[in-house]
Amino acid sequence: MNFRFPAFLDLTGKRCLVTGEGFEIPGKVRALVDAGAATVYVNPRAVPEIEQFAALNLIEWRQRDFTPSDLDGCFLAISDLDDNSELFQLAEEQRILCNSVDDPEHCRFSFGSIHRIGELTIAISTNGWAPAVAVRLRERFEREIGPEYGALIEILKQARPRIASGIADFAARRTLWYRIVDSEALALLRDGKQLEAEALIEGFIREGLEGR
């Protein structure tokens, strides 16, 4: 295994195939739906959650066994079959990224242990060797990195166009960003003082714009 290149993919509108029915499959389908992928699920049966996705037209459900043509036009595939080797080989030939659940020999990428708060995503990987370590690290991040980080990122997301257009100098923008991030804004948000945090950040931005 050599899952050492970390990447966050934009799957919006990308056709992604999921096949099989292991216990991890509903979560994979849900993650693809959340990512905006054009998700195709191929399996004779489906758990209620996947049935609901299909009923809401959030995915296409092909109620049959996998056939090679299911890979046509796909960007990536997730497989949890008794034997993933054929699908993996077909995906390799068509240059489609493939993950076979709990079958690293038939994977071109792996899934990290994820901690997500709003726009913040932290993914942890042990290159497939010690998933339990990744889970424990994720649980630690869940305790230590709370909703205040999501709130801060949302404020900065709204402020970013204004800062980018108002401060041409890169060094000045960088100084402003770190001034905000290293300020008391996070502590204020942690204490539920949203308005105070927004006012503090606004003050930094005004000073940065005036000093351009």
Res 212: pLDDT: 61
Res 211: pLDDT: 80
Cβ atoms of 72 and 53 closer than 8 Å: no
Q: Which residues of the chain have pLDDT under 70?
A: 212
CA–CA dist 193, 68 (Å, integer): 55
The full length of the chain comes to: 212
Beta bridge partners of 42: 19, 62
**Domain 15-111, CATH:** 3.40.50.720
Q: What is the pTM of this model?
A: 0.90
63-98 core/surface letters (b: 16 or more CB in 10 A; e: else): eeebeeebbeebbbbbbbbeebeebbebbeeeebbb
Res 141: pLDDT: 97
For the chain, the maximum distance between any two Cα atoms, rounded to a whole number of angstroms, is 64
Res 129: pLDDT: 86
Q: Where are the domains of the chain?
A: 15-111, 112-143, 147-210
Please give the distance of CA 82 from its chain centroid, rounded to a whole number. Answer: 27
